[in-house]
Amino acid sequence: MVRRIAILGSTGSIGRNALRVIEGLGEGYSVFALSANSKVELLAEQARAFGAKVVAITDASCRGRLVDLLGGLDVEILSGSESLAALAQLDEVDTVVTAIVGAAGLSAVLAAAKKGKRLAIANKEPLVVAGELLMAEAARSGSEILPVDSEHSAIFQAMQTGKRTEVAKIILTASGGPFLKLSGQEMEDVTLEQALAHPTWDMGPKVTIDSATMMNKALEIIEARWLFDVPVERIEVLIHPESIVHSLVEFVDGSVIGQLGEPDMCLPIQYALTYPDRLAGRARAPQLAEIGRLNFSKPDGEVFRALPLAYEVCRAGGTAAAVFNAANEAAVEEFLAGKIRFVNILELVEDCLNRHDVKTGVSLEELLEADAWARRQVSALTCST
């Protein structure tokens, strides 16, 4: 059987790595559909190289250029934000790699889950915003959800060595980002350039900033809560600057099982595509004798406020995570645009959470309203500073 794959966000860091992995896997894995937001040239180049049958460009103003670039090819071209869900639901596609950044991927992920597709999920924000709805939809349709985030892939692999009822704790490792050793005071002077220089991972700008604030780990706590159905009290974060141990599961008998690998996203992407098989691929095993030493320590929740906030958000439930995520997305955009300072990101997120009246037992529409509310709040608060 040939796996026919759609990659949502094929022009980004995860999307490009997913194409490299598929190329390396060769026979048995083919690209059927691709999407981008505005990078038309790269999208057209990928569509030609991989023989995609359908492409989607969410920024509809780029459609004309894409039509020109793909002239003469037998490719269906979709455009606009709704095109993502259409792509994710194509009958010909069995596996959807979600590599879009932010909550913009939500409707497409839900659509793929409804249709019972295998979902290789890198795009964590939809799980954070609507994890309960998404997991329920997947359970109804039989959609397999396979994590691509290296930490969640490691947990998924470790989980296979025991029963769910035997899990005592999930331990998410974190590199700590570029500012691990800075004090709260030193954090005040951080520049955009410094925040974009991650010590171990090469990623898109939003997730790189999230790693520097440790919001990425905060979102991963919420992601793990939904993916593995574990109460948040049993999820811990452990600083591990070398990014070799990608995460661990502690079982009730005191055994701790982890997965080790080089910091290379090709490995978790490939495992999500080939599961339950393991195939030879691009990744090389870590050379432990060369690495010599692996370090672990507890994170400082006073400096990295995102971490304690993630636990509060999980306990509050309902709309809290949608606000947490959207406020962060909006604040990171402001930071990338040079409108606020690094430390303002978490201040804005916390401010939004404090102003928000959490609603529980909510629908998708109410989650989207909470998301939009948080974005408006960040914009208003930014203008007033």
DSSP SS3 for 176: coil
Which of 6, 14, 34, 227 lies at the binding interface for ligand NAP (CB under 6 A)? 14
Q: Does residue 234 contact residue 159 with C-beta atoms inside 8 Å?
A: no
Beta-bridged to residue 250, according to DSSP, are 169, 256
Which range binds ligand NAP by CB under 6 A, 122-130, 137-145, 178-186, 296-304?
122-130
Which of 6, 12, 171, 329 lies at the binding interface for ligand NAP (CB under 6 A)? 12
* 258 touching ligand NAP, by CB under 6 A: no
Q: Report the distance separating Cα 189 and Cα 245, nearest Å.
A: 31
Largest CA distance in the chain: 62
* 123 touching ligand NAP, by CB under 6 A: yes
Which range binds ligand NAP by CB under 6 A, 119-127, 165-173, 285-293, 326-334?
119-127
Tally of CB atoms within 10 A around 149: 28
Q: Report the distance separating Cα 85 and Cα 8, nearest Å.
A: 10
* 38 touching ligand NAP, by CB under 6 A: yes
Show the binding pattern over residues 202-241: x = contacts ligand NAP (CB under 6 A), - = does not. Answer: -xx-xx----------------------------------
Cα-flanking dihedrals φ and ψ of residue 314, to 5°? Answer: -65, -40
Q: 232: which DSSP letter?
A: G
> With respect to ligand NAP, which residue has the nearer C-beta, 13 or 166?
13
Q: How many residues bind ligand NAP (CB under 6 A)?
A: 27
**Min. distance of Cβ 74 from ligand NAP in angstroms?**
23
Which range binds ligand NAP by CB under 6 A, 6-14, 69-77, 331-339, 367-375?
6-14
* C-alpha distances out from residue 213 to 186, 196, 243, 320, Å: 13, 11, 17, 19
Q: Report the distance separating Cα 342 and Cα 184, nearest Å.
A: 11
The site for ligand NAP (CB under 6 A) is made up of 9-15, 36-39, 58, 99-101, 104, 122-125, 149, 201, 203-204, 206-207, 265
